[in-house]
Amino acid sequence: MRVSSHFTLLTSTGVLLAVLFCLPPGPARRLAGIAQLIMEPASAFAAMSLRVSRAAWGGLRRSQEVDDLDAIRGELAAAKLQLAAIDDKYDSLALENNLLRNRLRLTYKNESLTIVVAELVQRDPFAAFYDNIVINRGHNDGIRPGQLVATHRGLVGLIADTSPSSSSVTLVTSPRFALACRIPERNLTGLLRGPEPSSGAGTAEPRLLLPPPELVVDALDGVMFDTVKPGDLVYTSKTDGRAEVVNDILIGAVVRVEHDNAGAPILRLQPAESLAQLPFVHVILK
């Protein structure tokens, strides 16, 4: 009998603790829950059962949501890394594409040209800086002496001589350069030549720090340049007589009109290509 009383007491205590645990938190709310349990036991037990069920299912959903969110965050981080790598690759390809477009955008009219892109591999930084360069394409690539060399801005020079895998280029600013030219706007032709070598220039003078010298156009057959104005554009001309030369590669713009000691008119040109930076050039094949 005494054992049964103890069991009843322990059972009642356990039930009371379970009821108190399931009641709402807070002293006031717990007292209200006890009063409801005494006054309306059926509705109170129903409310407790509902809270227990919701807590159980809600806790399970929250646990699953945390795991799912962690997995989603991991996938999102990986996707961001992949997207950043794609963006970097796209930017690199876009820059390369723009560079190639600029290198291949020559100015010419009514000509079907074959172009070989070549890289500058040798240049004297001192006295011969504006005289000649060496490029990494030769007669194995179809390059021959007399062919024009240019960039997308304008004429650079002429192929002087070649080897199987390299070529020497005489620049338009070299005293050894000469080429027929024309001014389409004025319907005039002339002879383009490099400037006279500066007197007293030392061979150790770093000409790469200096701007390119002006070019000179001499009149042919007594042609007068009275109609020529500063800003007129000068282009290459096939009247040069060399089969490798093509028409309408921009050479430069007229800066001023002068007269030599004999009174003959000469034009001073600013080269269209500055020639200071020439990582790549185009060799124009016929």
pLDDT single digits (tens) 72-114: 888 888 888 888 888 888 877 877 776 665 555 444 444 567 8
The contacts of residue 100 (CB under 8 Å, 6+ apart) are none
Q: What is the pLDDT of residues 118-162, one digit of tens each?
A: 999 999 888 788 899 999 999 999 999 999 999 989 999 999 999
User: Taking each helix axis from N to C terminus, what angle separates 2-22 and 41-103, rounded to the nearest 10 degrees?
Assistant: 40
Point out the least confidently predicted range of 44-48, 115-119, 160-164, 240-244.
44-48
CA distance linking residue 27 with residue 112, whole number of Å: 95
Q: What is the pLDDT of residue 87?
A: 82
20, containing H or E segment? helix 2-22
CA distance linking residue 85 with residue 144, whole number of Å: 44
Domain 114-285 annotated CATH 2.40.10.340? yes
Torsion over CA of 142, 146, 151 and 156, rounded to 10 degrees?
Answer: 150
Q: Residues 271, 154: contact at Cβ < 8 Å?
A: yes
Whole-model pTM: value is 0.60
CA distance linking residue 234 with residue 220, whole number of Å: 15
- For the cut 60, the answer to whether the pLDDT of residue 249 exceeds it is yes
